[in-house]
Amino acid sequence: MFTGIITDIGKVLELEQRGDMRARIGTTYDIAGIDIGASIACDGVCLTVIALGTEPQNWFDVEVSAETVNLTNIGRNAWHVGRPLNLERALKVGDELGGHIVSGHVDGVAEVVAMHDEGDSTRVTLRAPDDLARFIAPKGSVALNGTSLTVNEVAGTDFGINFIPHTKVATTWGDVRVGDAVNLEIDTMARYVARLRDYG
């Protein structure tokens, strides 16, 4: 489990297809504190560490299954060597829950359809897949590329997010562009409320 509070901006160092995709991700995390088998959310995708190293910089390797590639923005060629990634290590018992409960299981891919500056902040409009839009509500939470965010407004399948200057610096959201494919995880509470409504 994760909180959607990004703690490092990593970088894709290598990509290799070995049946499944294997990725090497550079990080500023202390490698000595990461175990093989640990879970790290990479742009919101929960992945398992299979190797670690320190040359030429700290890095960890993960394997990405074909299903994960198909369900995330990885399958839209979003990952390439040099791409920055939002990283978060798994939640430990007793850690502060600063965002919301995030599983790292991406539900689908949203698209950035518009953006404009509002003062120092940036308002971004995204379009959700039809089957996920009903789970997104004003003032509710979503995880976008692993970042816990509050929804400002909803209009059909479109929804708006306001990015404050801190978020743009502490995550990869400072580099967002119209047309970008974004990993979307809906709020777990919204999923269960909808199921109770439909089948309760």
- List pLDDT tens digits, range 169-179: 999 999 999 99
Domain extents in the chain: 8-89, 108-199
Same topology, domains 8-89 and 108-199? Answer is: yes
**β-pair type (158-163, 84-89):** unpaired
Distance of CA 156 to the CA centre of its chain: 23
Is there a contact between 1 and 49 (Cβ–Cβ < 8 Å)? Answer: no
pLDDT at residue 54, rounded to an integer: 96
The amino acid that residue 41 corresponds to is A
Is there a contact between 126 and 186 (Cβ–Cβ < 8 Å)? Answer: no
- List pLDDT tens digits, range 32-69: 999 999 999 999 999 999 999 999 999 999 999 999 99
Alpha-carbon gap, residue 5 to 7, rounded angstroms: 6
CATH T-level topology, domain 8-89: Elongation Factor Tu (Ef-tu); domain 3 (2.40.30)
Residues in the chain: 200
CATH T-level topology, domain 108-199: Elongation Factor Tu (Ef-tu); domain 3 (2.40.30)
Phi and psi, residue 154, nearest 5°:
-135, 135
Ranges in the chain, pLDDT < 50:
none
